Amino acid sequence: MRHAFSILLLAACATQPVAAQDARQGEELYLRYCATCHGLDATGYGPMRPVLTVQPIDLTRLTAENKGEFPLVRVIKRIDGRDPLVSHGSPMPIYGELFEGQDISLKTEAGQPIMTSQPVADLVAYITSLQVE
């Protein structure tokens, strides 16, 4: 019985990866893939802004514009392409496939897990660190 419990516990742990977010890695990804549209300071004024049909949003105000709560699920789904935003004729992100990687689980505002990749989790950690009031 004890052996069976140990196997079940190991199986449960294997299916629930621990989310270790790295905001420094997220910053590197942001500067490489996102700053062109959203700007170095993430306020939505990157060099590509003039040619985009849908203007980039100010990523530093996501929490402030969502009643003080960071919209984790919306941000993850926009980055990984599950909630595409068409801007200049192509879905955002145009680099979505580059953000694939080891799947991990993050806890949503409601306490439920949402699966995403490590690079997306790192980007989310960086964007979260930029929030202003």
Domain of 107, CATH number, reads 1.10.760
Q: How many structural domains are present in the chain?
A: 1
What tens-digit pLDDT sequence spans the chain (133 residues)?
Answer: 545 444 444 444 444 444 588 999 999 999 999 999 999 999 999 999 998 888 899 999 999 999 999 999 999 988 888 877 766 556 666 666 777 778 899 999 899 999 999 999 999 999 999 999 7
Give the model's pLDDT for residue 54.
83
Give the model's pLDDT for residue 1.
52
Q: In terms of residue numbers, what domain contains 102?
A: 2-129
Containing H/E element for 10? helix 2-15
Give the model's pLDDT for residue 93.
63
Joined together, the tokens standing for residue 26 give 């997220």
Query: Do 70 and 83 contact (CB within 8 A), yes or no?
Result: no
φ, ψ dihedrals at 27, nearest 5°: -65, -45
Residues whose CB is less than 8 angstroms from the CB of residue 125 and which lie 6 or more positions away in sequence, other chains included: 21, 22, 23, 26
Cβ atoms within 10 Å, residue 61:
16
Long-range contacts of 46-53 (CB under 8 A, 24+ apart): 51/88, 52/87, 52/88, 53/86, 53/87, 53/88, 53/89
